[in-house]
Chain A
């Protein structure tokens, strides 16, 4: 376990990491791959999912057997989920606070939310770091469109790399364009179906959010 208390013995709040992106890009699949990888590295974890009017994603993760179902909370936005991760994140803040109260040792809370297509962003009041997930099936022109989610996130994840040859996408130029629109800030490639690239995402979280390295 990493230190969760400072030198004076004060407990440090859990890091809060947002995972956003268009519907179908693989956000929940990424969470399902991250959970075992993070747990294997000894990270005490909880998850919040945001859905429109259901708890579909939360139920999927609770049933996965990957994590104690009590550590998975659902926020039902009642509107496009971007409203509760940016404009008024109070529902998510309360859900995260509640998880920290119920699991005092929790070090990392993943907050998944779709919504608002390429313009979705997370409030700094809610998250310490946020990832944006796109996929090659959406087209290799997605980075060039310079959506705020693509440009402003702390880490851009391009998922479903295995589909590239089937949808006429060349990964190398897509990656180069993503790095270009982000002025060289991090971009990682994943294939969540097979777990490829997940270790790099976990390492980025360990370095930039959990300060392990």
Chain B
């Protein structure tokens, strides 16, 4: 187990980049792929792409970001990588539909963002499981599913 505490830098930091370049030549870079819905964790255990078992903890005020450097020493580096957060964008047809959608999203404890008149649902599972919860709104054409964004 490789015990890691805190973020020591970012892969884009100029100083870090030159050191990473050296490590890269020796095949010492390992990526820790963190699922997007787990990115808020301050403590987790996950294996790198090379199989190293990492036990990671962060300070309460630290935020893990894509490219965060968690370890850099002895010709070896561990970098956090995120997959892209899956989202589902919904545009209500009118104010009444928006109220209905908002009520369901709140009642179902969905993680959401607002983009103008579009509700963006941050998905923690398959879209169909979310779609099933508001099937009646979709069937009534009260919502437009936006897929081209």
Interface residues of A (CB under 8 A from B): 3, 6-7, 10, 12-13, 15, 86, 119, 121, 124-125, 128-129, 148, 152, 207-209, 211, 213
Contact = CB atoms under 8 A, between A and B. Distances in A.
Contacts of B55: 211
Given A6-B5, A6-B6, A13 B109 contact: no
Contacts of B43: 15, 128-129, 209
B45 A211 contact: yes
A12 B135 CA distance: 46
Nearest to B1: A211
B59 interface: yes
Given A125-B40, A208-B45, A119 B6 contact: no
Interface in B1-31: 1, 3, 5-6
Contacts of B109: 86, 119, 121, 148
| Chain B contact residues: helix, strand, loop or mixed | loop
Interface residues of B, number: 16
27 contacts: A3-B3, A6-B5, A6-B6, A7-B5, A10-B5, A13-B57, A13-B60, A15-B43, A15-B57, A121-B109, A124-B41, A124-B42, A125-B40, A128-B41, A128-B43, A128-B44, A128-B57, A129-B43, A152-B124, A207-B45, A209-B43, A211-B1, A211-B3, A211-B45, A211-B55, A211-B57, A213-B1
A13 B3 contact: no
Contacts of A211: 1, 3, 45, 55, 57
A125 B42 CA distance: 8
Nearest to A211: B55
Nearest to A119: B109
A60 B5 CA distance: 36
B6 A10 contact: yes
Q: Which of B6, B43, B45, B109 has the most CB of A within 10 A?
A: B43
Nearest to A146: B129
Nearest to B73: A7
Given A121-B109, A211-B1, A211-B3, A13 B41 contact: no
Contacts of B44: 128
CB-CB nearest 6 A-B residue pairs = A124-B40, A211-B55, A128-B43, A6-B5, A128-B42, A13-B60
Contacts of B6: 6, 10
